[in-house]
Amino acid sequence: MKQTLMEPFSLTLDFAAGRIEPATTRIERRLSDMLGMFADAAAEAAAMTDGDPLIYEVLQYDVPNETGQLVVCTTVLHPGRIGDEYYMTKGHYHEKLDTAEVYLGLRGHGKLVMQADHGFSGLDMHSGTIAYVPPYWAHRTVNTGSDLFVFFAVYPADAGHNYGAIEHGGFGQRVVDRDGRPMIVPSNKGVEA
Amino acid sequence: MKQTLMEPFSLTLDFAAGRIEPATTRIERRLSDMLGMFADAAAEAAAMTDGDPLIYEVLQYDVPNETGQLVVCTTVLHPGRIGDEYYMTKGHYHEKLDTAEVYLGLRGHGKLVMQADHGFSGLDMHSGTIAYVPPYWAHRTVNTGSDLFVFFAVYPADAGHNYGAIEHGGFGQRVVDRDGRPMIVPSNKGVEA
């Protein structure tokens, strides 16, 4: 099938702020958008009464949803914890499972946790880390530092997002603070549940 | 078709040097690899007798050649001219024409020139420029500065490279120095030829 005939374009990326200019989509996730995803329900409730914190933002430039097109976006994950669990993204599988994603760390420190039918993975990310999410792997990022954690991502425009599997089934790993250091611990949720 | 089951991995990108570590493919293009691509044959011959200059290097991390997988690479374009024409890449179409490519400028200054059946395009690139090469567009980068011009790129792993169309048919635009400033001028080659 012939694809949309497009003209080339350019955007500007602010590496430190993680801003794409212009962006066509801006997603803002507050704690209220992901209640129940953190393990400590009491800590979630306390954080809600303290003002429903902003957990992360995504800025994206949309192109036609066609095989062969690529979407670029940036994610700005704020620093913080709910109980002992670091702020994180909701995490998702691609709807089209056989599609990969490339991350490039721009600022701060984080972890990229992934799960697939056959197991788990956790990669450290910081400025200059290129991380590869292979086809079939659900992926979630976690800010394990005290600064913003910012990264750039590229994924196939026809990949789609399946958030439901994680919202309902959970993720098999959690990233928690243990004596001031981030540690990946098994969850009672996710593919092993 | 089920794709190769891969484990996640990470690489390190040196933004200033444009080095991916580890890389699985390293391509080095000297003037001798692209003789006849610059307009000024006498200047090409003179540069060859001066030592066959290194024009650009590409470092790449290869993944299976499958739809949905993504290849990351960096390009380091050296500064210089052959006659009044700035150092440039060979330029290519994707073999699978309906695939895009994303560039992210990391260092220096350059131009991304593109051509498609219906016309031409030229975009300025510097650190922080995200440039989108849409499906169907041949693309070539040009170092218009006095420093290295370095950029990061992501493209679909099944895109393939068609260098022959440019090697034999030429490119419809040239980027030349005019009184110390880069200018895009029409060529007598390329899609309008």
Q: Domain for residue A55, yes or no?
A: yes
Q: Domain for residue A106, yes or no?
A: yes
For B14-21, what is the mean pLDDT? 96
Stronger pLDDT, A188 or B151, i.e. the higher one: B151
Q: Which residue has the tokens 């599997």?
A: A165
For B106-123, what is the mean pLDDT? 96
Give the strand pairing for A109-116 and A138-143: antiparallel
Give the pLDDT of residue B188: 72
Q: Domain for residue B107, yes or no?
A: yes
Give the pLDDT of residue B3: 67
Chain A residues in contact with B130 (beta carbon < 8 A): 10-13, 20, 61, 72
Q: Domain for residue B165, yes or no?
A: yes
Give the pLDDT of residue B193: 35
Each residue of A94-142: pLDDT tens digit? 999 999 999 999 999 999 999 999 899 999 999 999 999 999 999 999 9
Cα–Cα distance measured from residue A151 to residue A109, given in angstroms and rounded to the nearest whole number: 10
Residue of B11, B125, B154 with shortest CB distance to A154: B154
For B106-113, what is the mean pLDDT? 98
Q: How far is B27 from chain A (nearest CA, A)?
A: 20
Q: CA triplet B13, B18, B19: central angle to 5 degrees?
A: 55
On the question of pLDDT at B192 being above 60, the answer is no
Q: What are phi and psi of A159, to 5 degrees?
A: -65, -45
For A70-84, what is the mean pLDDT? 98
Contact B100 A7 (CB under 8 A): no
Q: Domain for residue A53, yes or no?
A: yes
CATH number at residue B79: 2.60.120.10
Cα–Cα distance measured from residue A89 to residue A43, given in angstroms and rounded to the nearest whole number: 17
Which one-letter amino acid corresponds to residue B75? T
What is the overall mean pLDDT for chain B?
A: 94
* A74, A102, A106, best to mutate vs chain B, most B CBs in 10 Å: A102
On the question of pLDDT at B9 being above 60, the answer is yes
- Place B2 in a pLDDT band, splitting at 50, 70 and 90: low
For A148-160, what is the mean pLDDT? 97
On the question of pLDDT at B191 being above 80, the answer is no
Q: Domain for residue A59, yes or no?
A: yes
Cα–Cα distance measured from residue B144 to residue B125, given in angstroms and rounded to the nearest whole number: 10
On the question of pLDDT at B133 being above 50, the answer is yes
Tell me the CA distances in angstroms from A152 to A18, A118, B108, B180, one per residue in order.
8, 27, 20, 34
- Place B190 in a pLDDT band, splitting at 50, 70 and 90: low
**The total number of structural domains that make up chain A:** 1
Give the pLDDT of residue A5: 87
Give the pLDDT of residue B118: 86
Tokens of B96: 């699978």
Each residue of B71-100: pLDDT tens digit? 999 999 999 999 999 999 999 999 999 999
Residue A161 CB burial class (10 angstroms; 0-12, 13-18, ≥19): exposed
Q: Does B173 touch chain A (CB under 8 A)?
A: no
Q: Domain for residue A191, yes or no?
A: no
Identify the CA nearest to B31 among candidates B8, B56, B14, B63: B56
Give the pLDDT of residue A192: 42
Give the pLDDT of residue A189: 61
Minimum mean pLDDT among A63-72, A184-193, B5-14: which range?
A184-193
Residue of B13, B96, B156 with shortest CB distance to A104: B13
Give the pLDDT of residue A66: 95
Each residue of A108-118: pLDDT tens digit? 999 999 999 98
Q: Domain for residue B191, yes or no?
A: no
- Place B184 in a pLDDT band, splitting at 50, 70 and 90: very high
Domain holding A30, by residue range, is: 12-186
Q: Is the ipTM of this complex over 0.90?
A: yes
